[in-house]
Homo-oligomer: A and B are copies of this chain.
Amino acid sequence: MPYFDAASAAPLHPVARQALLAALDEGWADPARLYREGRRARMLLDASRETVAEAVGCRADEVVFTSSGTRAVHTGIAGALTGRRRTGRHLIVSAVEHSSVLHSAESFEAGGGSVTTVAVDRAGAVDPSAFTDALRQDTALACLQSANHEVGTVQPVAEVAGVCRAAGVPLLVDAAQSLGWGPVEGDWSLLAASAHKWGGPSGVGLLVVRKGVRFAAQGPVDERESGRAPGFENLPAIVAAAASLRAVRAEAAQEALRLRELTERIRARVPELVADVEVAGDPRRRLPGIVTFSCLYVDGEALLHELDREGFSVSSGSSCTSSTLTPSHVLRAMGVLSEGNVRVSLPPGTAAQDVERFLEVLPGVVAGVREKLGAPAAAPAAAPAAEAEELVVDSLGKRCPIPVIELARVFGDVPVGGTVRVLSDDEAARLDIPAWCEMRGQEYVGEEPAERGTAYVVRRIG
């Protein structure tokens, strides 16, 4: 039963399991105590910190163990912003950061701070010069992920760190998706990561704060973890996290090559096997194990459900699978199609035949979902059936991908030069209709407010 959602949570690495078991026996006591059980726990904690520091490329006393990657991000951003509040109350984030970063930014903004969001290109990457432009006299902190969690695009962290360093602004790197593959290059100031993304246990995050970075821990005082992560240390899990980080690193170079071949195969084959597919993310600067594509005229939730029935566990940035009913902010920032979105993230050790089987079942699954939804055939009719210069499609009250399906169904009915107005109140249409135009080589004229919802206007140019 292939599990292809390592970017959400990787299965526990065997070394993590062994280390956890050993540490349950040796590391359950309070490492702050002086008796033998406490001293043993302290030794395990110290050794784990050394191991992590080596893998990150920092000093052991710069490493703080938190209870999750999200907590590491929240703590890191709040601590760095407060530590530099005399400099100013301006924060820079990229548009495709993890929700923990964006929610921290919202919280900062709600408290009176100002936030600049740096845009990304269609591949999901930032341009270092955009950070240069965003930096201000009052910038307290900048944040950039090492690699994107939804499309796998690797960011130019070293360059952005250089730009920030030159301006005297600390850069916090969310390295959750990449730390298992290697250290983060460049002169960054803070780093956050999450053990369960590299095959460690849940319950452990990392926050690294370089010496010399101004940092003011928030919330009630607590003496553990340099005062930066309150509460009794989750020691057996910390030991397992450190041991598994070392283990995955030892296997990283070879496994990266292997997974990169597999994801390259998916990138190449899916558009051949399935019509009307857009592959997202940078084709070269990307993580080894993540590949993401979107299928026109497909409901993401139905697709995931059918793939699950076939034994494949994947994730989706489509609106329909998230509890918020809005499309992935990452896909939106990239300007790519969000409907029928599938993220395949292969855990280390994924067998090639599982990927082949995925490629075998995918066309049938997509076709099945499209058929159920009444999606149009791949190529629109060449000759218009009617001569109306403008058609209106009322998709009000209908959820993605129905508005796009209804657009495609009537599109052959307008002549070249004619337009279709799609009325929709689904937020995803704002992203998917322009993306459809891009994929179909048609002109997206723009959107206009309608009596209900929004009218999206598309002109037939071919």
Contact = CB atoms under 8 A, between A and B. Distances in A.
Contacts of A233: 202
Interface string A196-238: 1000011101000000000000011111000000111111110
A68 B67 contact: yes
Contact of A11 (B28, B220, B308): B28
Interface string A113-124: 000000000000
A179 interface: no
Contact of A231 (B30, B36, B38, B205): B205
A370 interface: no
Contacts of A37: 3, 5, 313
A203 B315 contact: no
Given A35-B314, A220-B100, A234 B231 contact: no
A34 interface: yes
- Count this chain's copies in the assembly: 2
Nearest to A108: B220
A68 B34 contact: no
Given A30-B8, A107-B221, A220-B100, A230 B70 contact: yes
Given A36-B308, A221-B103, A315-B33, A203 B67 contact: yes
A148 interface: no
A304 interface: yes
Interface size range of chain A in the complex: 35 or more
A304 B38 CA distance: 12
A294 to B, nearest CB: 18
A69 interface: yes
A106 interface: yes
Interface string A6-36: 0011011000010011001000111011111
A71 interface: yes
A166 interface: no
B194 A232 contact: yes
A378 interface: no
A1 interface: yes
A167 to B, nearest CB: 25
A56 to B, nearest CB: 20
A220 B103 contact: yes
Contacts of A237: 202-203, 234, 237
Contact of A104 (B20, B70, B201, B220): B220
A2 to B, nearest CB: 11
A321 interface: yes
B70 A106 contact: no
A219 B107 contact: yes
A12 to B, nearest CB: 5
Nearest to A224: B70
A323 interface: yes
Nearest to A223: B323
A180 to B, nearest CB: 15
A74 interface: yes
27 contacts: A1-B36, A5-B29, A5-B37, A8-B29, A29-B313, A32-B323, A34-B301, A35-B312, A36-B308, A36-B313, A67-B71, A67-B231, A68-B232, A68-B234, A69-B232, A70-B231, A70-B232, A74-B230, A100-B220, A100-B222, A103-B221, A104-B220, A106-B221, A107-B221, A203-B203, A205-B231, A223-B323
Given A67-B234, A202-B234, 16 more contacts: A5-B30, A5-B33, A8-B29, A8-B33, A12-B28, A33-B315, A35-B308, A68-B232, A70-B222, A70-B230, A70-B231, A104-B220, A107-B219, A201-B234, A202-B237, A203-B237
